[in-house]
Amino acid sequence: MFDRRVGEALRDLEVGSDVLVLTWLDRARRDVLSVHPRGDPDRPETGVFSTRSPDRPNPIGLHRVQVAAIDGTRVRVRNLEALDGTPILDLKPVLGPESER
> Which tens digits make up the pLDDT trace of 44-64?
999 999 998 989 999 999 999
Tell me the pLDDT tens digit for each residue of 2-17: 999 999 999 999 999 9
- Report the predicted TM-score, pTM, of the whole model to 2 decimal places: 0.83
Task: Domain 4-93: give its CATH superfamily.
Answer: YaeB-like (2.40.30.70)
10-14, 41-45, 94-98: least confidently modelled range: 94-98
pLDDT score, position 100: 58
Rounded Cα distance between 20 and 24, Å, is: 13
Q: Which residues contact 2 (CB under 8 A, 6 or more apart)?
A: 9, 10, 73, 74, 75, 88
